[in-house]
Amino acid sequence: MHFLVSLIEKYGLLAVFLNLFVEGMGIPLPSYPILMIATAMAAHMHYSYSEIILTGMSAALLADACWYWGGRHYGTNIVKFLCRISLSPESCERNTHLMFTRVGPSSLGFAKFIPGFSSIGIVLASAMRTPLLPVIFFDVLGVLVYISLGVALGAVFHNAIADALDILTELGKGGFVIIAASLALFWAGKWAQRKHFMRQLRMNRISAAELRDLIVNGDEPVILDVRPQAIRRREGVIPGSIVAHERNLKAIAKRYSGDREVVVYCSCPNEASAVLMARKLRKAGFKKIRPLQGGIDAWLEEGAAIEQESLAA
């Protein structure tokens, strides 16, 4: 641990920059510990609080610029990729889309405080062709507040942080083991949550070709679209589909017989939102429910028709 403290003392601002950049690129590596430690040690170093803030802001904004470029060139495919590898894939895409569409670019002002939303928010702003000026304004504001708070905490609790560092330094390898074990437990808990969720996704799917055949043959399946409104308007909907959310689940159960064939689709990794809705529909009394494998993307790849307007349930 003494080596780690010496490393921060020697490369403090570089450590701050790399940590904030890595976190900004989507790696869940907490930045507040390094910000607070660097601030607590600033009195013994050759840098000021303002230099810490500027260094952190440079790193975070550079990472955001990378995500903005990616969103402009690859659109929401980047969002799907990020949600696919997320530790919380069950809520990633839907929740981030809902937040950005409801709040707009001003959501970037507090995005850094929401795990997983920071990078996705920038991608969505770029992919949706949000005007650049408000994106820059709220992103810079959000980054400034986020990093300044970390520095402020380090300044307020610098004595306590210094004492903790002294204790860990005295513990030597034992201090490192304590920190490593804490991080390992955190990651293990998150991974266990992800594995549990992935087990929940085990449900029979229907392919886009099979769904199209059902429609052509006149079987009239109930097709439910669980995507946010902004995505439906941008990507289009499968003809005959209706909007399905928890708030209108009871209405859908009353409107259709439990024996009807039900197909649920989204545009999220692993059909996560579709599977979760399918499970709720099963509890509501429906017996024949299948998520659309590959979601709306598979439907488009099949060359099937879509409608540009969203339909209400």
pLDDT, position 231: 77
pLDDT, position 66: 93
| Residue 267: partners with Cβ closer than 8 Å, 6 or more residues away | 76, 80, 93, 227, 231, 235, 295, 296, 297
The string of pLDDT tens digits covering residues 172-186 is 556 556 666 766 776
User: What does the mean pLDDT of the chain come to?
Assistant: 79
Residue 1's pLDDT band (boundaries 50, 70, 90)?
very low
- Contact of 93 with 83, CB cutoff 8 Å: yes
pLDDT, position 199: 57
Dihedrals phi, psi of 237, to nearest 5 degrees: -130, 160
The angle subtended at Cα 245 by Cα 240 and Cα 250, nearest 5°, is 90
Give the amino acid at 97.
Answer: H
pLDDT, position 15: 86
The string of pLDDT tens digits covering residues 201-247 is 456 788 999 999 888 888 889 999 988 777 788 788 999 898 888 77
The string of DSSP codes covering 27-86 is: ----SHHHHHHHHHTGGGSS--HHHHHHHHHHHHHHHHHHHHHHHHHHTTHHHHHHHHH-
Question: Could you tell me the fold of the domain covering 208-301?
Answer: Oxidized Rhodanese; domain 1 (3.40.250)
| Residue 8: partners with Cβ closer than 8 Å, 6 or more residues away | 15, 34, 37, 38, 41
Give the amino acid at 113.
Answer: F
Give the amino acid at 27.
Answer: I
Q: Which pair of tokens denotes residue 227?
A: 């995507």
- Contact of 175 with 182, CB cutoff 8 Å: no
Give the amino acid at 154.
Answer: G
| DSSP code of residue 91 | T
For the chain, what are the domain ranges?
2-200, 208-301
The percentage of residues in the chain with a pLDDT greater than 70, rounded to a whole number, is 75
| Most trustworthy range by pLDDT among 130-139, 240-249, 299-308 | 130-139
Is the pLDDT confidence value at 88 over 60?
no
Residue 313's pLDDT band (boundaries 50, 70, 90)?
very low
State how far the Cα of 43 lies from the Cα of 12, in Å rounded to an integer: 12
